[in-house]
Amino acid sequence: MLLENVVSSANRFDHQLAHRKVTPLLLKVERPAPSDISVSGAQTPKNEGRIAQKIKVKNRIVDLDGDEMTRVIWD
């Protein structure tokens, strides 16, 4: 019975992954490779409230401070 549960769970997980929509980000290769600080400074911050919603983080553990600052509260 335990093995049946494992197989059932693995099949369900595989089915979920097959229907997942992934949008790859564009890759811009630069030569020579830029420094880490210049790469991070060139990025536009994402709205963390939307990220929390997408990954289904419960509101009680996320404290949003504007669009670019979030605290995660661990119980």
Mean pLDDT, 10 residues at a time, over the chain (75 residues)?
Answer: 88 83 84 90 80 73 65 65
Q: Is residue 26 part of a domain?
A: no
Domain extent at residue 54 = 45-75
| Number of domains comprising the chain | 1
Quote the pLDDT of residue 32: 93
The rounded distance, in Å, linking the Cα atoms of 75 and 48 is 20
Q: Assess if residue 13 is contained within a domain.
A: no
Q: Residue 64 falls within a domain, yes or no?
A: yes
Residue 36: φ, ψ to 5°: -60, -40
Q: Please indicate, yes or no, if residue 58 is contained in any of the structural domains.
A: yes
Considering the domain boundaries, does residue 29 fall inside one? no
Give the span between the Cα atoms of 75 and 10, in whole angstroms: 30
Q: pTM score, two decimals?
A: 0.35
What's the pLDDT score for residue 54?
80
Assigned domain for 36 exists: no
